[in-house]
């Protein structure tokens, strides 16, 4: 019994790791014409007070994952002035959740994107990450 529970928990953790929201592909702008994709929904996440864009990307990833997206096109992450511009600058990320249909050999990297995990680790916009 204990052995079967252990195997079941390992299988569940492996499947969760394979579908990690931090592996969603971020693309600044839209991919080239040779990449097939379908836009699902516009998404946005912001923090009401001071912080970094990297700090709110996990929340953004969960929003994209909630609509079954595997990519975000037209991605923009920036600091924006709040209601009182002389006092508050806050992080905002936005884009359009999308479903990429990659052909053989195409990857997030090869079409000019980067995963949310890479953007968090480097703190650089997806199109500027050097590989």
* pLDDT tens digits for range 69-95: 999 999 999 988 766 666 678 899 999
C-beta of residue 30 within 8 angstroms of C-beta of residue 74: yes
Q: Residue 16 domain-assigned?
A: no
Could you tell me which of 95, 41, 94 has the C-alpha nearest to residue 68? 41
Tally of domains in the chain: 1
Q: Residue 15 domain-assigned?
A: no
Report the CATH number that the domain containing residue 27 is assigned in CATH. 3.30.110.70
Q: Residue 9 domain-assigned?
A: no
Question: So what's the pLDDT on residue 86?
Answer: 62
Question: So what's the pLDDT on residue 90?
Answer: 86
Beta strands in 1-131 (DSSP E): 25-26, 36-46, 71-81, 89-101, 114-115
pTM over 0.75: yes
Residue 96 CB neighbour total at 10 angstroms = 19
Q: Residue 7 domain-assigned?
A: no
Q: Residue 11 domain-assigned?
A: no
Domain boundaries, position 117: 21-128
Q: Residue 50 domain-assigned?
A: yes
Flag residues of the chain having pLDDT under 70. Answer: 1-18, 82-87, 131
Question: So what's the pLDDT on residue 62?
Answer: 96
């Amino acid at each position: 019994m204990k052995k079967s529970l252990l195997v079941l928990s390992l299988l569940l953790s492996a499947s969760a790791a394979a579908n990690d929201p931090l592996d969603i592909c971020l693309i600044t702008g839209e991919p080239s014409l040779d990449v097939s994709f379908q836009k699902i929904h516009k998404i946005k996440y912001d923090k009401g007070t001071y912080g970094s864009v990297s700090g709110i990307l996990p929340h953004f990833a969960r929003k994209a994952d909630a609509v079954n997206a595997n990519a975000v096109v037209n991605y923009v992450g920036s600091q924006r002035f709040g209601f009182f511009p002389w006092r508050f600058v806050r992080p905002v990320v936005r884009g359009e959740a999308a479903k990429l249909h990659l052909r053989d050999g195409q990857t997030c990297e090869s079409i000019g994107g980067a995963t949310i995990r890479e953007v968090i680790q480097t703190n650089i916009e997806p199109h500027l990450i050097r590989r």
